[in-house]
Amino acid sequence: MRTERLYNNDPYLKEFEAKILEVLPFEDKYGIILDRTAFYPEGGGQPYDTGYLNEASVLQVIEKNRELLHIVERQPQAKEVKGLIDWSRRFDLMQQHTGQHILSACFEKLLKGSTDSFHLGKDIISIEINIDSFSANDAEHLENMANDIIYSNLPVTARVVTEEELKSIPLRKVPKVTENIRIVEVKDIDYSPCGGTHVSATGEVGMIKIKNWEKCKGGFRFTFVCGSRALKDYGLQNSITKALGEKLSVRDSEIVEAVNKVVIDLKNTEKQLSAVTQELIKYEADNIINECPEVSGIRLVSRIFDNRSINDAKLLAQYLTQVPGTVALLACRSESAQVIFTRSEDVDIDMNELFKAVLPVIDGKGGGNARTAQGGGSRVERLDDFLNSAENLLKANNSR
């Protein structure tokens, strides 16, 4: 390990100067090893820093074989560089990471829930907590406790401790390393082994908001936001609430009730529409039957519908085949072809066999039973040939 890690002692350091020790090829880019750096590498659940080394963009920082590689596009020519950290990204990550320590400590104290994993993403953070149950009431208590810690503006410190010191520290989790153990302390609240960057006082976290939770293997997964992310999220939620209130002509406090009413009205309208649709399809079926002559004792109905739902076609087929001696070959044409073959109970024709025989015409898949078969295919342009083939096969078999 040749690189002095400046971020360990001063996470607020934005600029620094360093010497290039080595440049290694890295995929189609280059990895620069410096004698000192303020760039944090990806690790411990925290993403890497970005920024510049002279004019070169630092795209990624990784730790490989105990060396820190600063990934850049082009091989540097200078032997010394000036490093500049993307501070907005760094401070955001500091807010989120310290916020995670605070929230994890609250889970431990309120619900006896240990943190199994932690992921700091671009927009939100997620943690998995080893608990059996969780409620909205629990979320409220957790948020209140976490934000009280933030408002108290408690000092946050980080230091490497000796084995002897470690024995007297009430750690929230066991260290993953056995040497150079660095403990991040939120004063009197949390003591955790951690190599990440953190704010110097809890007030800088701003606020914590739990957004969602769901069951996962071993407990619950929580997503939450802190600091500037929480402010951005509040702005988004506020704009959504404002737009909904204007659209529904109600106050913010009345939105849920208004939406519930819209949902109920929509369901009632859908029921009415469904009833009317059924009546229209029944009327359509009656007209088709009246216009369709019998041939060799069978009334054959063959139709292609453009942009009609397959469910409507199924209902039409159902009404058609309530009439004895009827065979219905119906197809719906849109981006793909959907088809249904069915018959009346008294017709002695295996519809599944007929269906399977002509499916290759539309490069289709599907099947069914002797009375009804359905499926679809990608060759929409061959639907006419598909139905013609089925009709010809049906007539040939029926004439025997």
Here the CATH number for the domain that contains residue 319 is 3.10.310.40
| Span of 154-168, 241-255, 290-304, 346-360 with lowest mean pLDDT | 290-304
Q: Which residues pair with 214 in a beta bridge?
A: 221
Mean pLDDT for the stretch of residues 238-256: 94
pLDDT of residue 9: 92
| Span of 142-151, 198-207, 323-332 with lowest mean pLDDT | 323-332
- CA-based nearest residue to 122, from 238, 223, 13: 223
In a shared domain, residues 123 and 200? yes
Contact at 8 Å (CB) between 171 and 163?
A: no
In a domain, 164, yes or no: yes
Measured CA distances, 235 to 36, 46, 138, 289 (Å) = 40, 25, 25, 60
Residue 98 reports pLDDT greater than 80:
yes
pLDDT of residue 110: 96
Mean pLDDT for the stretch of residues 31-54: 94
Mean pLDDT for the stretch of residues 379-398: 87
In a shared domain, residues 104 and 12? no
pLDDT of residue 393: 87
In a domain, 185, yes or no: yes
Residue 75 lies in domain: 4-85
> What residues contact residue 213 under an 8 Å CB cut-off, 6+ apart?
134, 139, 220, 221, 222, 223
How far is 314 from 316, CA to CA, in rounded Å?
A: 5
What is the distance of C-alpha 361 from the center of its chain? 39
CATH number at residue 71: 2.40.30.130
In a domain, 264, yes or no: no
**Mean model confidence pLDDT for the chain:** 93
Reported in sequence order, the residue ranges of 135-237 that DSSP labels E, i.e. its strands, are 156-160, 182-186, 190-193, 208-216, 219-226
Contact at 8 Å (CB) between 33 and 71?
A: no
In a shared domain, residues 204 and 167? yes
- What is the pTM (predicted TM-score) of this model? 0.76
In a domain, 334, yes or no: yes
How far is 42 from 62, CA to CA, in rounded Å?
A: 6
Residue 258 reports pLDDT greater than 60:
yes
In a shared domain, residues 98 and 214? yes
pLDDT of residue 399: 60
Instruction: List the 156-160 sheet strands across, edge first.
Output: 156-160, 182-186, 190-193
pLDDT of residue 14: 97
In a domain, 254, yes or no: no
Say how many domains are in the chain: 3
What is the distance of C-alpha 230 from the center of its chain? 19
> What residues contact residue 223 under an 8 Å CB cut-off, 6+ apart?
124, 125, 126, 210, 211, 212, 213
